[in-house]
Amino acid sequence: MEVVRISQEQIDTGSIGSLACEALEAGNIVVLPDHALFDQQADIDFLLGLKQNASSLHKNVAYKPAAHKVTGATTHSPGDAERLLDVMSRFSKRALSLLALVCPPYAQKWKTDYASYRPFEEHGRDLPLKQRNDLMHVDAFPSRPTHGGGILRLFTQINPSKDRVWRVSGPFESLADKYAMNAGLRDVKGGSAALKRAAAKVGRAVGLKVPDRTAYDQFMLGFHDYLKGNEEFQHTREAREYNFHPNQVWMCYTDVLAHSVLSGQYALEQTVIIPPEAKVRPEIAPVSVLERMAGFPLTPARKRQLQSA
């Protein structure tokens, strides 16, 4: 894993091309050391103050751009709720604009996912195994399958004084080589995995809210849990720690780069889903790596592409 630093000048002069995309796709972290995502200190102060006022925030505060809605923050006065929505929606817009500038090849091609505010101290958080952020993993969303798309996330932190500390390892290909078969890659084609997909389809047809998971999504969700529970991987010597400083912006594909967060408080994040065909190097996308190993396509769309090729 490398850390690729991008200067404001590279962004301003539009000279970045596919440099950041290539670095991200290969499992590296792109850092913008001197980029201020918030232009008003009052917004930062509001977010920092929120934690003290609200005792029952959920795991994170989520902002859902498509619905223009905040969830996970329950105990605000109507005024605070309105302000939070406004602050989160402006953060999301600025983060998306920045993503488009840093990754020009992806602009217009992504699916905008949620933004989040992470107001809790990560060190020593008491969460169930699957939700623990301090165990290394690659990301997969239970309720929002990507159908082979990559999970690209832009982070920043508004903590005025403390670093956010990650442990990272990867890239995906070496993880997959080592663990994908044991984690059940071959099993997602048929058997109970296929039955689950068929049952989910029936459920959706009768109006139930069942996620539309492809074999890829089923595997990635299982891989997330498998890695968190794998002692050998959790103690791998290949992992290294990395500190993000206050007010830095950083990005990575969290389904390519294995990561965990050891400590830190008050981060924000915006996620976009990048279809494999929009990537600069689609052949190293997790879905391509896994398909080569499995020997069969992992999504219906890729099966159709293969048949028509």
Q: Which of residues 60-119 bind ligand SIN (CB under 6 A)?
A: 118
Of 241 and 283, which CB lies nearer to ligand SIN in the complex structure? 241
**Selected binder of ligand SIN within 31, 95, 101, 267 (CB under 6 A):** 267
Which residues is 167 bridged to in the sheet?
241, 260
Q: Binder to Fe ion among 25, 43, 122, 139 (CB under 5 A)?
A: 139
Question: What is the closest distance, in whole angstroms, from the C-beta atom of residue 137 to ligand SIN in the complex?
Answer: 7
Q: Using CB distances below 5 to 8 A depending on partner kind, what does residue 35 bind out of ligand SIN, Fe ion, none?
A: none
Q: Which residues lie below 8 Å from residue 172, measured CB to CB, with a gap of 6+?
A: 27, 138, 255, 256, 257, 258, 284, 286, 289
One character per residue 114-153, x = contact with ligand SIN (rule: CB under 6 A): ----x--------------x-----x--------------
Query: Residue with structure tokens 């792109």?
Result: 30
* Whether 52 contacts 119, CB under 8 Å: no
- What's the token pair of residue 227? 């890695």
Picked from ligand SIN, Fe ion, none, the partner binding residue 118 (CB below 5 to 8 A depending on kind) is ligand SIN
User: What is d(CA 157, CA 246) in angstroms, rounded to the nearest whole number?
Assistant: 6
Query: How far, in Å, CA of 39 to CA of 37, rounded?
Result: 6
From the list ligand SIN, Fe ion, none, pick the one residue 267 interacts with, judged by a Cβ distance below 5 to 8 Å according to partner type.
Answer: ligand SIN
Residue 66 DSSP code = T
Would you say 260 or 302 has its CB closer to Fe ion?
A: 260
The helices-and-strands tally (H runs, E runs) of the chain is: 10, 11
| 288 lines the binding site for ligand SIN (CB under 6 A) | no
Determine which residue in the list 146, 156, 254, 271 makes contact with ligand SIN, applying CB under 6 A. Answer: 254
Interatomic CA distance for residues 31 and 29, integer angstroms: 6
Cβ neighbourhood burial of 246 (10 Å; 0-12, 13-18, 19+): middle
Q: Which stretch binds Fe ion (CB under 5 A): 2-10, 46-54, 121-129, 253-261?
A: 253-261
Site of interaction with Fe ion (CB under 5 A): 139, 254
Positions that interact with ligand SIN (CB under 6 A): 118, 133, 139, 164, 254, 259, 261, 267
